[in-house]
Structure 1
Amino acid sequence: MNSELDTYARQGFGADLPLKPPYGLLIVDFVNGFADPAVFGGGNIPAAIDRTVGLLRAARERGWAVAHSRIVYADDGADHNIFSLKVPAMLTLKEREHRSAIVPELAPAAGELVVRKTVPSAFFGTPLTQWLTQRGVQTVLVAGAVTSGCVRASVVDAMSWGFRPVVLSDCVGDRAIAPHDASLFDMAQKYAAVMKRDEALALAADGGRQG
């Protein structure tokens, strides 16, 4: 890994991305189906959900804009697309299905946006960009599942729309650890700041300065 890091550093990747207020929190697809190893879950997702409970509490206490995302397909599958063609079981995520509901411990509060989507990114084809922009958000802290899929896609789009993404490495999870670790490395080199929850919360409280 050291030789790989040297290669990335030599080519100019991995620069610091300072946090800049105002802040927002995006929780990607922490729904019952992704919490259940028998459906779409497994790996370190349960631990990431546990860590996100405290993160969400802190974001609310600080008055941050908070958004959640869910994958929700039409009851008749009329919006069947390439994502569900590749992963047909995604079509089981309907509006009223238990597996598509946000886990109870992270249930949205009044005033928090809930984005429904049928593709990996929480930004693509949704009002999330405008909603965050209207609230002046500059830095988006990201939690959710899965690291290598919908989290990564949302982070790339956040960066593309001009937000500063901060991936909270202990608040994102994947059904397999190898793609989780690889995606954290990749995002840290190209698209986002990657750090643990408590470090990010401390930096945000200190104005975003990094040592």
Structure 2
Amino acid sequence: MSDIDTYKQQGFGNSTGFGARPALLIVDLQVAFTDPQHLGGGNILAALNNTKSLLAVARQCGIPVAHSRNVFDSVDASVWCVKVKSLKDLTETAPASQIVEQVAPVPGECIVRKTKPSAFFETPLADWLHQKNVDTVIVAGCTTSGCVRASVVDCISHNFRTVVARDGVGDRALGPHEASLFDMAQKYADVLSCAEIAAHLRGALPG
């Protein structure tokens, strides 16, 4: 029996689908994570290009958009910064910590400053989504095996339907990227291409 057959036999991998009120969450598309010489690499730049297109559709459709960014000033340095020392480069004003121009937030979009892998942990993100009556969160960004996966697990833990943009998430290593997509698809989220997500959003527009 193959791995996927085992999961299916045990009841994993079902689709939760889209609800009535989706939002887009873009995780950590910061300068540092899109620079292969700093914290980037792998397929992150390809994910950025696809996310840029998906963001344009989300804005056209008028759905809520949230962005997360890692920021570590002196009081925020944590055990995570011990494990990954270069995170301490991401101070509030450092160029490396800024969200890249291609997906830069516009007025009205939520920007979550975080110091842990998940965009939900000790941030106002869940409250903001509830205020917008969101029931489905589309997740893009990086890295697939790190902050994307952590955010996805917390997203479903907050009882949001969760959709991961397969080609809108990226990682500096393709092995963890693929393994994380498989795991999330079985346990925590629907995994769809940016084109499939965009088609749904356009089709869900009233009129």
TM range (shorter): over 0.9
TM-score by length of 2: 0.96
Aligned twin of 1:201:
198
Q: For residue 78 of structure 1, report the CA deviation from its aligned partner.
A: 2.1
**How is 1:31-70 mapped onto 2 (pairs within 5 angstroms)?**
31-70=30-69
Give secondary structure in 2 for the equivalent of 1:172. Answer: strand
Identity of aligned residues (%): 52
Letter in 2 for 1:101: Q
Aligned twin of 1:20:
19
Aligned twin of 2:72:
73
Aligned twin of 1:130:
127
Residue deviations 1:23-80 (CA, integer Å, cap 9, x gap): 1000000000000000000000000000111111111111111000000011xx2221
Residue 162 of structure 2 corresponds to residue 165 of structure 1 = yes
Aligned twin of 2:97:
100
Query: How many residues end up aligned between the 2 structures?
Result: 205
Residue deviations 1:127-175 (CA, integer Å, cap 9, x gap): 0000000001011111000000000000000000011110001000000
Cα distance in 1, alignment partners of residues 108 and 9 from structure 2 = 45
Cα distance in 2, alignment partners of residues 10 and 206 from structure 1 = 33
Aligned twin of 2:184:
187
Letter in 2 for 1:171: G
Q: For residue 206 of structure 1, report the CA deviation from its aligned partner.
A: 3.6
Of the three residues 174, 178, 187, the one matched with 1:177 is: 174
Give secondary structure in 2 for the equivalent of 1:189. Answer: helix
Letter in 2 for 1:163: F
Give secondary structure in 2 for the equivalent of 1:167. Answer: strand
TM-score by length of 1: 0.95
Q: For residue 16 of structure 1, report the CA deviation from its aligned partner.
A: 1.3
Aligned twin of 1:7:
6
Aligned twin of 2:114:
117
Give secondary structure in 2 for the equivalent of 1:34. Answer: helix
Letter in 1 for 2:51: T
For structure 1, the 5+ residue unaligned runs are none
Letter in 2 for 1:179: P
Q: For residue 203 of structure 1, report the CA deviation from its aligned partner.
A: 2.5
Aligned twin of 2:153:
156
Residue deviations 1:4-34 (CA, integer Å, cap 9, x gap): 0011011110011111121100000000000
Preserved CA contact (<8 Å) 2:58 2:201: no
CA RMSD of aligned residues (A): 1.2
Q: For residue 201 of structure 1, report the CA deviation from its aligned partner.
A: 1.9
Preserved CA contact (<8 Å) 1:21 1:204: no
Cα distance in 1, alignment partners of residues 15 and 164 from structure 2 = 13
For structure 2, the 5+ residue unaligned runs are none
